[in-house]
Structure 1
Amino acid sequence: MAKVISISNQKGGVGKTTTTGAVAAGYKLKGYRVLCLDLDPQSNLSFSVGAESEDCPTIYDILKGEAKTSFSIQKTPSFDIISSNILLSGIELEFTQTGREFLLREALNTIKDKYDYIFIDTPPALSILTVNAFTASDYIIIPMLADIFSLQGIAQLSETIDKVKKYCNPNLKIEGIVLTKFNKRTILSREIRGTAELIADELKTSLLNTTIRASVAVKEAQTSQKTVYEYSPKNGATLDYMNLVEELLERGI
Protein backbone atom coordinates (compact mmCIF):
# COMPACT_ATOMS: atom_id res chain seq x y z
CA MET A 1 0.00 0.00 0.00
CA ALA A 2 1.46 3.32 -1.08
CA LYS A 3 2.67 5.98 1.31
CA VAL A 4 1.24 9.34 0.22
CA ILE A 5 3.45 12.41 0.61
CA SER A 6 2.47 16.01 -0.11
CA ILE A 7 5.15 18.55 -0.96
CA SER A 8 3.60 21.80 0.15
CA ASN A 9 4.12 25.48 0.81
CA GLN A 10 1.59 28.16 -0.07
CA LYS A 11 4.43 30.51 -1.02
CA GLY A 12 5.46 30.22 -4.67
CA GLY A 13 9.04 29.98 -5.89
CA VAL A 14 10.33 27.82 -3.05
CA GLY A 15 11.21 24.84 -5.26
CA LYS A 16 8.10 22.82 -4.48
CA THR A 17 7.58 21.36 -7.96
CA THR A 18 11.32 20.83 -8.40
CA THR A 19 11.51 19.02 -5.08
CA THR A 20 8.50 16.84 -5.90
CA GLY A 21 9.97 15.79 -9.24
CA ALA A 22 13.50 15.24 -7.96
CA VAL A 23 12.48 13.25 -4.89
CA ALA A 24 10.01 11.13 -6.86
CA ALA A 25 12.58 10.40 -9.57
CA GLY A 26 15.14 9.57 -6.88
CA TYR A 27 12.79 7.04 -5.32
CA LYS A 28 12.18 5.47 -8.71
CA LEU A 29 15.94 5.17 -9.24
CA LYS A 30 16.03 3.27 -5.95
CA GLY A 31 13.66 0.72 -7.47
CA TYR A 32 10.33 1.81 -5.97
CA ARG A 33 7.01 2.07 -7.78
CA VAL A 34 6.30 5.80 -7.89
CA LEU A 35 3.30 7.89 -8.93
CA CYS A 36 3.23 11.69 -8.96
CA LEU A 37 0.05 13.70 -8.80
CA ASP A 38 0.13 17.21 -10.24
CA LEU A 39 -2.40 19.17 -8.19
CA ASP A 40 -1.23 22.58 -9.39
CA PRO A 41 -3.32 24.25 -12.15
CA GLN A 42 -0.09 25.62 -13.64
CA SER A 43 0.82 21.98 -14.45
CA ASN A 44 4.57 22.64 -14.27
CA LEU A 45 5.33 19.16 -12.99
CA SER A 46 3.36 17.64 -15.87
CA PHE A 47 5.33 19.69 -18.39
CA SER A 48 8.68 18.90 -16.77
CA VAL A 49 8.27 15.18 -17.51
CA GLY A 50 6.62 15.57 -20.91
CA ALA A 51 3.15 14.49 -19.77
CA GLU A 52 0.03 15.36 -21.79
CA SER A 53 -2.27 17.91 -20.12
CA GLU A 54 -4.94 18.69 -22.69
CA ASP A 55 -6.21 15.74 -24.73
CA CYS A 56 -6.34 13.27 -21.87
CA PRO A 57 -8.08 12.73 -18.53
CA THR A 58 -6.45 14.80 -15.76
CA ILE A 59 -6.86 15.11 -12.02
CA TYR A 60 -9.62 17.64 -12.73
CA ASP A 61 -11.66 14.97 -14.49
CA ILE A 62 -11.00 12.52 -11.66
CA LEU A 63 -12.17 14.91 -8.97
CA LYS A 64 -15.30 15.68 -10.99
CA GLY A 65 -16.04 11.97 -11.25
CA GLU A 66 -15.72 11.99 -15.03
CA ALA A 67 -12.63 9.75 -15.27
CA LYS A 68 -11.30 6.73 -13.42
CA THR A 69 -8.03 7.21 -11.58
CA SER A 70 -6.40 4.14 -13.12
CA PHE A 71 -7.22 5.31 -16.67
CA SER A 72 -5.68 8.74 -16.03
CA ILE A 73 -2.17 7.56 -15.21
CA GLN A 74 0.53 8.38 -17.76
CA LYS A 75 3.80 6.47 -17.95
CA THR A 76 6.91 8.61 -18.37
CA PRO A 77 10.64 7.77 -18.12
CA SER A 78 10.81 9.80 -14.89
CA PHE A 79 7.82 8.27 -13.05
CA ASP A 80 4.11 7.65 -13.51
CA ILE A 81 2.02 10.79 -13.31
CA ILE A 82 -1.55 12.07 -13.25
CA SER A 83 -1.39 15.46 -14.93
CA SER A 84 -3.33 18.67 -14.38
CA ASN A 85 -4.34 21.69 -16.42
CA ILE A 86 -5.74 25.18 -15.97
CA LEU A 87 -9.30 23.90 -15.49
CA LEU A 88 -8.25 22.90 -11.99
CA SER A 89 -8.09 26.57 -11.00
CA GLY A 90 -11.90 26.82 -10.97
CA ILE A 91 -12.48 23.87 -8.71
CA GLU A 92 -12.97 25.99 -5.58
CA LEU A 93 -16.18 27.39 -7.07
CA GLU A 94 -17.32 24.14 -8.72
CA PHE A 95 -17.04 21.89 -5.69
CA THR A 96 -19.29 23.07 -2.89
CA GLN A 97 -20.79 19.76 -1.82
CA THR A 98 -20.43 18.19 1.59
CA GLY A 99 -17.39 15.93 1.80
CA ARG A 100 -15.45 17.69 -0.95
CA GLU A 101 -12.32 17.49 1.24
CA PHE A 102 -12.23 13.70 0.74
CA LEU A 103 -12.48 13.52 -3.07
CA LEU A 104 -8.77 12.97 -3.65
CA ARG A 105 -8.43 10.40 -0.88
CA GLU A 106 -11.26 8.36 -2.37
CA ALA A 107 -9.73 8.60 -5.85
CA LEU A 108 -6.29 7.45 -4.68
CA ASN A 109 -7.66 4.56 -2.62
CA THR A 110 -8.46 2.76 -5.87
CA ILE A 111 -4.80 2.66 -7.02
CA LYS A 112 -2.73 2.78 -3.81
CA ASP A 113 -1.97 -0.94 -4.00
CA LYS A 114 -0.18 -0.44 -7.34
CA TYR A 115 2.52 1.88 -5.93
CA ASP A 116 5.00 2.16 -3.10
CA TYR A 117 4.92 5.96 -3.04
CA ILE A 118 2.56 8.67 -4.26
CA PHE A 119 3.93 12.22 -4.27
CA ILE A 120 1.56 15.19 -4.56
CA ASP A 121 2.71 18.54 -5.92
CA THR A 122 0.32 20.98 -4.25
CA PRO A 123 -0.63 24.46 -5.54
CA PRO A 124 0.93 27.64 -4.07
CA ALA A 125 -2.25 28.49 -2.17
CA LEU A 126 -4.15 27.19 0.83
CA SER A 127 -7.21 26.14 -1.17
CA ILE A 128 -9.56 23.16 -1.27
CA LEU A 129 -6.95 21.45 -3.46
CA THR A 130 -4.38 21.73 -0.69
CA VAL A 131 -6.91 20.49 1.87
CA ASN A 132 -7.66 17.51 -0.40
CA ALA A 133 -3.94 16.76 -0.67
CA PHE A 134 -3.46 16.85 3.11
CA THR A 135 -6.56 14.74 3.71
CA ALA A 136 -5.20 12.09 1.34
CA SER A 137 -1.63 12.17 2.67
CA ASP A 138 0.34 10.34 5.31
CA TYR A 139 3.15 12.90 5.38
CA ILE A 140 3.90 16.51 4.44
CA ILE A 141 7.31 17.81 3.45
CA ILE A 142 7.68 21.59 3.45
CA PRO A 143 10.30 23.12 1.14
CA MET A 144 11.21 26.68 2.03
CA LEU A 145 13.73 29.34 1.06
CA ALA A 146 16.18 30.70 3.57
CA ASP A 147 14.43 34.07 3.78
CA ILE A 148 12.14 35.86 6.21
CA PHE A 149 9.10 35.77 3.89
CA SER A 150 9.17 31.98 3.78
CA LEU A 151 9.23 31.88 7.56
CA GLN A 152 6.14 34.09 7.75
CA GLY A 153 4.23 31.77 5.41
CA ILE A 154 4.89 28.68 7.51
CA ALA A 155 2.54 29.92 10.26
CA GLN A 156 -0.39 30.09 7.82
CA LEU A 157 0.41 26.63 6.51
CA SER A 158 0.50 25.32 10.06
CA GLU A 159 -3.07 26.54 10.70
CA THR A 160 -4.35 24.67 7.65
CA ILE A 161 -2.55 21.48 8.67
CA ASP A 162 -4.00 21.70 12.19
CA LYS A 163 -7.54 22.03 10.81
CA VAL A 164 -7.07 19.06 8.47
CA LYS A 165 -5.73 16.96 11.34
CA LYS A 166 -8.69 17.93 13.50
CA TYR A 167 -11.49 17.37 10.98
CA CYS A 168 -10.22 15.15 8.14
CA ASN A 169 -6.99 13.27 8.78
CA PRO A 170 -5.82 12.85 12.41
CA ASN A 171 -2.86 10.69 11.34
CA LEU A 172 -1.29 13.36 9.12
CA LYS A 173 2.35 14.04 10.01
CA ILE A 174 4.67 16.88 9.05
CA GLU A 175 7.79 14.90 8.25
CA GLY A 176 10.07 17.91 8.01
CA ILE A 177 11.16 21.20 6.49
CA VAL A 178 13.81 21.25 3.77
CA LEU A 179 15.72 24.42 2.92
CA THR A 180 16.01 24.99 -0.84
CA LYS A 181 18.22 27.30 -2.92
CA PHE A 182 20.41 27.34 0.15
CA ASN A 183 23.83 28.96 0.32
CA LYS A 184 25.50 27.94 3.54
CA ARG A 185 28.25 30.55 3.05
CA THR A 186 25.94 33.53 3.63
CA ILE A 187 25.29 34.88 7.12
CA LEU A 188 21.57 35.31 6.35
CA SER A 189 21.15 31.66 5.38
CA ARG A 190 22.81 30.51 8.58
CA GLU A 191 20.60 32.81 10.65
CA ILE A 192 17.44 31.68 8.86
CA ARG A 193 18.42 28.06 9.43
CA GLY A 194 18.48 28.68 13.15
CA THR A 195 15.05 30.32 13.01
CA ALA A 196 13.71 27.49 10.84
CA GLU A 197 14.79 24.99 13.50
CA LEU A 198 12.74 26.90 16.08
CA ILE A 199 9.71 26.90 13.77
CA ALA A 200 10.12 23.19 13.14
CA ASP A 201 10.02 22.63 16.90
CA GLU A 202 6.77 24.62 17.13
CA LEU A 203 5.29 22.47 14.36
CA LYS A 204 6.43 19.36 16.25
CA THR A 205 8.59 18.35 13.32
CA SER A 206 12.24 18.78 12.37
CA LEU A 207 14.45 20.64 9.96
CA LEU A 208 15.85 18.02 7.62
CA ASN A 209 19.63 17.71 7.61
CA THR A 210 19.86 17.91 3.84
CA THR A 211 19.80 21.35 2.23
CA ILE A 212 19.40 21.95 -1.50
CA ARG A 213 21.78 24.25 -3.32
CA ALA A 214 20.59 26.68 -5.98
CA SER A 215 21.41 25.51 -9.51
CA VAL A 216 20.61 26.62 -13.04
CA ALA A 217 20.91 22.98 -14.13
CA VAL A 218 17.71 22.16 -12.25
CA LYS A 219 15.68 24.57 -14.36
CA GLU A 220 17.47 23.42 -17.52
CA ALA A 221 16.56 19.81 -16.72
CA GLN A 222 12.88 20.74 -16.37
CA THR A 223 12.94 22.63 -19.67
CA SER A 224 14.57 19.60 -21.31
CA GLN A 225 11.88 17.38 -19.73
CA LYS A 226 14.51 15.25 -18.04
CA THR A 227 15.18 14.42 -14.41
CA VAL A 228 18.11 16.17 -12.75
CA TYR A 229 19.77 12.76 -12.46
CA GLU A 230 19.70 12.33 -16.23
CA TYR A 231 20.52 15.90 -17.15
CA SER A 232 23.36 16.65 -14.75
CA PRO A 233 24.16 13.72 -12.46
CA LYS A 234 27.21 15.35 -10.87
CA ASN A 235 25.62 18.74 -10.26
CA GLY A 236 25.58 19.92 -6.64
CA ALA A 237 21.79 20.24 -6.44
CA THR A 238 21.39 16.78 -8.00
CA LEU A 239 23.62 15.26 -5.33
CA ASP A 240 21.67 17.18 -2.68
CA TYR A 241 18.36 15.78 -3.88
CA MET A 242 19.68 12.24 -3.83
CA ASN A 243 20.96 12.86 -0.30
CA LEU A 244 17.45 14.05 0.60
CA VAL A 245 15.96 10.83 -0.79
CA GLU A 246 18.40 8.79 1.27
CA GLU A 247 17.65 10.83 4.40
CA LEU A 248 13.92 10.28 3.96
CA LEU A 249 14.44 6.55 3.47
CA GLU A 250 16.54 6.42 6.64
CA ARG A 251 13.65 8.12 8.46
CA GLY A 252 11.37 5.31 7.35
CA ILE A 253 9.65 7.07 4.47
Structure 2
Amino acid sequence: MAKIISVTNQKGGVGKTTTTGAVAAGYKLKGYKVLCVDLDPQANLSFSAGAETEECPTIYEILKGEANTYFSIQKMDSFDIISSNILLSGIELEFTQTGREYLLKEALSSVKDKYDYIFLDTPPALSILTVNAFTASDFIIIPMLADIFSLQGIAQLSETIDRVRKYCNSNVKVEGIVLTKFNMRTVLSREIKGTAELIAERLNTEIFNTTIRSSVAVMEAQTNQLDIYNYSPKNGAAKDYMDLVEELIERGL
Protein backbone atom coordinates (compact mmCIF):
# COMPACT_ATOMS: atom_id res chain seq x y z
CA MET A 1 0.00 0.00 0.00
CA ALA A 2 1.48 3.31 -1.11
CA LYS A 3 2.57 6.07 1.19
CA ILE A 4 1.10 9.30 -0.17
CA ILE A 5 3.27 12.40 0.12
CA SER A 6 2.31 16.00 -0.69
CA VAL A 7 5.09 18.37 -1.70
CA THR A 8 3.69 21.80 -0.98
CA ASN A 9 4.26 25.51 -0.53
CA GLN A 10 1.81 28.22 -1.56
CA LYS A 11 4.73 30.42 -2.57
CA GLY A 12 5.89 29.93 -6.15
CA GLY A 13 9.50 29.56 -7.19
CA VAL A 14 10.65 27.58 -4.18
CA GLY A 15 11.53 24.41 -6.10
CA LYS A 16 8.36 22.52 -5.25
CA THR A 17 7.88 20.86 -8.63
CA THR A 18 11.63 20.27 -8.96
CA THR A 19 11.68 18.61 -5.55
CA THR A 20 8.66 16.45 -6.36
CA GLY A 21 10.22 15.20 -9.59
CA ALA A 22 13.73 14.70 -8.20
CA VAL A 23 12.61 12.85 -5.07
CA ALA A 24 10.17 10.68 -7.03
CA ALA A 25 12.84 9.82 -9.62
CA GLY A 26 15.28 9.08 -6.80
CA TYR A 27 12.89 6.58 -5.24
CA LYS A 28 12.37 5.00 -8.67
CA LEU A 29 16.15 4.59 -9.03
CA LYS A 30 16.14 2.87 -5.64
CA GLY A 31 13.80 0.26 -7.08
CA TYR A 32 10.47 1.45 -5.71
CA LYS A 33 7.22 1.72 -7.66
CA VAL A 34 6.43 5.44 -7.86
CA LEU A 35 3.47 7.46 -9.11
CA CYS A 36 3.34 11.26 -9.33
CA VAL A 37 0.10 13.23 -9.54
CA ASP A 38 0.37 16.72 -11.00
CA LEU A 39 -2.20 18.92 -9.23
CA ASP A 40 -0.86 22.20 -10.60
CA PRO A 41 -2.84 23.69 -13.53
CA GLN A 42 0.48 24.98 -14.93
CA ALA A 43 1.43 21.30 -15.50
CA ASN A 44 5.15 21.93 -15.05
CA LEU A 45 5.78 18.48 -13.59
CA SER A 46 3.90 16.89 -16.49
CA PHE A 47 5.99 18.79 -19.02
CA SER A 48 9.32 18.07 -17.33
CA ALA A 49 8.48 14.36 -17.26
CA GLY A 50 7.56 14.38 -20.95
CA ALA A 51 3.94 13.48 -20.24
CA GLU A 52 0.99 14.19 -22.53
CA THR A 53 -1.39 16.86 -21.19
CA GLU A 54 -3.90 17.46 -23.98
CA GLU A 55 -4.76 14.26 -25.85
CA CYS A 56 -5.31 12.09 -22.79
CA PRO A 57 -7.30 12.02 -19.55
CA THR A 58 -5.73 14.13 -16.81
CA ILE A 59 -6.33 14.59 -13.10
CA TYR A 60 -9.02 17.11 -14.07
CA GLU A 61 -11.15 14.45 -15.77
CA ILE A 62 -10.47 12.01 -12.93
CA LEU A 63 -11.69 14.45 -10.26
CA LYS A 64 -14.79 15.17 -12.35
CA GLY A 65 -15.53 11.46 -12.53
CA GLU A 66 -15.09 11.38 -16.31
CA ALA A 67 -11.97 9.16 -16.41
CA ASN A 68 -10.68 6.04 -14.69
CA THR A 69 -7.64 6.65 -12.47
CA TYR A 70 -5.71 3.54 -13.50
CA PHE A 71 -6.17 4.10 -17.23
CA SER A 72 -5.07 7.75 -16.90
CA ILE A 73 -1.59 6.80 -15.66
CA GLN A 74 1.27 7.45 -18.09
CA LYS A 75 4.40 5.36 -17.66
CA MET A 76 7.46 7.55 -18.14
CA ASP A 77 11.16 6.78 -17.70
CA SER A 78 11.53 8.64 -14.40
CA PHE A 79 8.22 7.63 -12.78
CA ASP A 80 4.57 6.99 -13.60
CA ILE A 81 2.44 10.12 -13.71
CA ILE A 82 -1.11 11.39 -13.87
CA SER A 83 -0.77 14.66 -15.75
CA SER A 84 -2.51 18.00 -15.40
CA ASN A 85 -3.57 20.82 -17.70
CA ILE A 86 -4.92 24.35 -17.54
CA LEU A 87 -8.55 23.18 -17.19
CA LEU A 88 -7.73 22.34 -13.58
CA SER A 89 -7.57 26.06 -12.79
CA GLY A 90 -11.37 26.29 -12.89
CA ILE A 91 -11.98 23.49 -10.44
CA GLU A 92 -12.56 25.81 -7.47
CA LEU A 93 -15.71 27.12 -9.14
CA GLU A 94 -16.81 23.80 -10.63
CA PHE A 95 -16.62 21.71 -7.48
CA THR A 96 -18.96 23.12 -4.86
CA GLN A 97 -20.57 19.91 -3.63
CA THR A 98 -20.34 18.50 -0.12
CA GLY A 99 -17.36 16.21 0.28
CA ARG A 100 -15.31 17.84 -2.45
CA GLU A 101 -12.24 17.67 -0.17
CA TYR A 102 -12.20 13.88 -0.56
CA LEU A 103 -12.29 13.60 -4.37
CA LEU A 104 -8.55 12.91 -4.75
CA LYS A 105 -8.45 10.45 -1.87
CA GLU A 106 -11.28 8.47 -3.47
CA ALA A 107 -9.63 8.63 -6.90
CA LEU A 108 -6.32 7.26 -5.60
CA SER A 109 -7.89 4.47 -3.54
CA SER A 110 -8.06 2.20 -6.59
CA VAL A 111 -4.32 2.46 -7.37
CA LYS A 112 -2.75 2.72 -3.89
CA ASP A 113 -1.97 -0.99 -3.80
CA LYS A 114 -0.03 -0.83 -7.09
CA TYR A 115 2.67 1.59 -5.82
CA ASP A 116 5.09 2.04 -2.96
CA TYR A 117 4.94 5.83 -3.10
CA ILE A 118 2.57 8.40 -4.56
CA PHE A 119 3.86 11.99 -4.73
CA LEU A 120 1.44 14.90 -5.11
CA ASP A 121 2.75 18.11 -6.68
CA THR A 122 0.43 20.80 -5.33
CA PRO A 123 -0.32 24.21 -6.87
CA PRO A 124 1.27 27.41 -5.48
CA ALA A 125 -1.95 28.36 -3.69
CA LEU A 126 -3.93 27.20 -0.68
CA SER A 127 -6.88 26.09 -2.83
CA ILE A 128 -9.30 23.17 -2.84
CA LEU A 129 -6.66 21.24 -4.80
CA THR A 130 -4.18 21.67 -1.95
CA VAL A 131 -6.83 20.67 0.59
CA ASN A 132 -7.56 17.56 -1.50
CA ALA A 133 -3.86 16.72 -1.51
CA PHE A 134 -3.53 17.06 2.28
CA THR A 135 -6.72 15.05 2.81
CA ALA A 136 -5.32 12.20 0.71
CA SER A 137 -1.79 12.33 2.15
CA ASP A 138 0.06 10.51 4.89
CA PHE A 139 2.95 12.99 4.88
CA ILE A 140 3.75 16.55 3.81
CA ILE A 141 7.14 17.84 2.68
CA ILE A 142 7.65 21.61 2.46
CA PRO A 143 10.37 22.97 0.13
CA MET A 144 11.37 26.47 1.15
CA LEU A 145 13.82 29.13 0.02
CA ALA A 146 16.10 30.65 2.64
CA ASP A 147 14.44 34.07 2.40
CA ILE A 148 12.11 36.11 4.55
CA PHE A 149 9.15 35.88 2.14
CA SER A 150 9.15 32.09 2.36
CA LEU A 151 9.07 32.31 6.14
CA GLN A 152 6.02 34.57 6.03
CA GLY A 153 4.10 32.09 3.89
CA ILE A 154 4.67 29.14 6.19
CA ALA A 155 2.32 30.57 8.83
CA GLN A 156 -0.61 30.49 6.35
CA LEU A 157 0.33 26.98 5.31
CA SER A 158 0.32 25.91 8.95
CA GLU A 159 -3.26 27.18 9.36
CA THR A 160 -4.42 25.20 6.31
CA ILE A 161 -2.77 22.01 7.59
CA ASP A 162 -4.43 22.50 10.99
CA ARG A 163 -7.85 22.87 9.35
CA VAL A 164 -7.35 19.72 7.29
CA ARG A 165 -6.32 17.82 10.41
CA LYS A 166 -9.42 19.04 12.22
CA TYR A 167 -11.98 18.31 9.52
CA CYS A 168 -10.57 15.89 6.91
CA ASN A 169 -7.42 13.97 7.86
CA SER A 170 -6.29 13.91 11.47
CA ASN A 171 -3.32 11.66 10.68
CA VAL A 172 -1.44 13.75 8.11
CA LYS A 173 2.10 14.49 9.32
CA VAL A 174 4.46 17.28 8.27
CA GLU A 175 7.59 15.22 7.71
CA GLY A 176 9.90 18.21 7.37
CA ILE A 177 11.02 21.39 5.64
CA VAL A 178 13.73 21.17 2.98
CA LEU A 179 15.73 24.30 2.17
CA THR A 180 16.19 24.69 -1.58
CA LYS A 181 18.52 26.87 -3.68
CA PHE A 182 20.53 27.07 -0.48
CA ASN A 183 23.98 28.59 -0.05
CA MET A 184 25.43 27.92 3.39
CA ARG A 185 28.25 30.40 2.69
CA THR A 186 25.98 33.44 2.94
CA VAL A 187 25.21 34.98 6.33
CA LEU A 188 21.56 35.51 5.35
CA SER A 189 21.04 31.84 4.52
CA ARG A 190 22.47 30.78 7.87
CA GLU A 191 20.27 33.27 9.70
CA ILE A 192 17.15 32.22 7.81
CA LYS A 193 17.91 28.57 8.54
CA GLY A 194 17.86 29.38 12.24
CA THR A 195 14.50 31.13 11.90
CA ALA A 196 13.15 28.25 9.79
CA GLU A 197 14.01 25.85 12.59
CA LEU A 198 11.77 27.85 14.94
CA ILE A 199 8.95 27.71 12.39
CA ALA A 200 9.46 23.97 12.02
CA GLU A 201 8.88 23.63 15.75
CA ARG A 202 5.57 25.44 15.34
CA LEU A 203 4.60 22.86 12.70
CA ASN A 204 5.77 20.11 15.06
CA THR A 205 8.38 19.06 12.52
CA GLU A 206 12.02 19.81 11.68
CA ILE A 207 14.37 20.99 8.98
CA PHE A 208 15.85 18.16 6.93
CA ASN A 209 19.59 17.72 7.38
CA THR A 210 19.91 17.75 3.59
CA THR A 211 19.82 21.13 1.86
CA ILE A 212 19.57 21.56 -1.92
CA ARG A 213 22.07 23.67 -3.82
CA SER A 214 21.03 25.95 -6.64
CA SER A 215 21.99 24.61 -10.06
CA VAL A 216 21.35 25.62 -13.67
CA ALA A 217 21.48 21.91 -14.57
CA VAL A 218 18.16 21.39 -12.77
CA MET A 219 16.37 23.78 -15.16
CA GLU A 220 18.24 22.35 -18.13
CA ALA A 221 17.12 18.83 -17.18
CA GLN A 222 13.49 19.94 -16.97
CA THR A 223 13.71 21.71 -20.33
CA ASN A 224 15.08 18.50 -21.86
CA GLN A 225 12.37 16.46 -20.10
CA LEU A 226 14.89 14.37 -18.18
CA ASP A 227 15.34 13.82 -14.47
CA ILE A 228 18.44 15.37 -12.93
CA TYR A 229 20.09 11.98 -12.34
CA ASN A 230 20.03 11.05 -16.02
CA TYR A 231 20.80 14.54 -17.26
CA SER A 232 23.73 15.35 -14.97
CA PRO A 233 24.41 12.55 -12.45
CA LYS A 234 27.53 14.22 -11.02
CA ASN A 235 25.83 17.56 -10.49
CA GLY A 236 25.75 18.93 -6.94
CA ALA A 237 21.95 19.27 -6.86
CA ALA A 238 21.58 15.68 -8.10
CA LYS A 239 23.72 14.53 -5.19
CA ASP A 240 21.71 16.68 -2.78
CA TYR A 241 18.38 15.28 -3.95
CA MET A 242 19.63 11.69 -3.69
CA ASP A 243 20.88 12.50 -0.18
CA LEU A 244 17.37 13.75 0.62
CA VAL A 245 15.86 10.52 -0.68
CA GLU A 246 18.24 8.52 1.49
CA GLU A 247 17.44 10.71 4.50
CA LEU A 248 13.73 10.09 3.96
CA ILE A 249 14.26 6.34 3.71
CA GLU A 250 16.37 6.38 6.89
CA ARG A 251 13.49 8.14 8.64
CA GLY A 252 11.19 5.31 7.61
CA LEU A 253 9.44 7.13 4.80
Pick the TM interval, shorter chain. Answer: over 0.9
Per the alignment, residue 14 of structure 2 pairs with 14
The correspondence of residues 1-253 of structure 1 with structure 2, limited to 5 A, is 1-253=1-253
Matching residue's letter, 2:222: Q
Write the deviation string for residues 130-166 of structure 1: whole angstroms up to 9, x where unpaired.
Answer: 0000000000000000000000000000000000000
Q: How far did 1:242 drift?
A: 0.2
Matching residue's letter, 2:9: N
Normalised by the length of structure 1, the TM-score is 1.00
Q: How far did 1:47 drift?
A: 0.3
Matching residue's letter, 1:246: E
- Return the alpha-carbon distance in structure 2 between the equivalents of residues 174 and 49 of structure 1: 26
SS at match of 2:175: strand
Q: How far did 1:79 drift?
A: 0.4
Q: How far did 1:205 drift?
A: 0.3
SS at match of 1:141: strand
- Return the alpha-carbon distance in structure 2 between the equivalents of residues 82 and 201 of structure 1: 34
Gaps of 5+ in 2: none
SS at match of 1:200: helix
- Return the alpha-carbon distance in structure 1 between the equivalents of residues 134 and 203 of structure 2: 15
- Return the alpha-carbon distance in structure 2 between the equivalents of residues 108 and 24 of structure 1: 17
Normalised by the length of structure 2, the TM-score is 1.00
Write the deviation string for residues 210-230 of structure 1: whole angstroms up to 9, x where unpaired.
Answer: 000000000000000000000
Write the deviation string for residues 15-60 of structure 1: whole angstroms up to 9, x where unpaired.
Answer: 0000000000000000000000000000000000100000100000
Q: How far did 1:193 drift?
A: 0.3
- Return the alpha-carbon distance in structure 1 between the equivalents of residues 20 and 182 of structure 2: 17
- Return the alpha-carbon distance in structure 2 between the equivalents of residues 67 and 49 of structure 1: 21
Gaps of 5+ in 1: none
Q: Which runs of 4+ in 1 moved over 6 A?
A: none
- Return the alpha-carbon distance in structure 2 between the equivalents of residues 141 and 187 of structure 1: 25
> What is the identity percentage for the equivalent residue pairs of Structure 1 and Structure 2?
81
- Return the alpha-carbon distance in structure 1 between the equivalents of residues 196 and 209 of structure 2: 12
Matching residue's letter, 2:145: L
- Return the alpha-carbon distance in structure 2 between the equivalents of residues 162 and 251 of structure 1: 23
Aligned length: 253
Give the CA RMSD over aligned residues.
Answer: 0.3
- Return the alpha-carbon distance in structure 1 between the equivalents of residues 252 and 62 of structure 2: 30
Matching residue's letter, 2:119: F
Q: How far did 1:75 drift?
A: 0.4
Matching residue's letter, 2:149: F
Q: How far did 1:3 drift?
A: 0.1
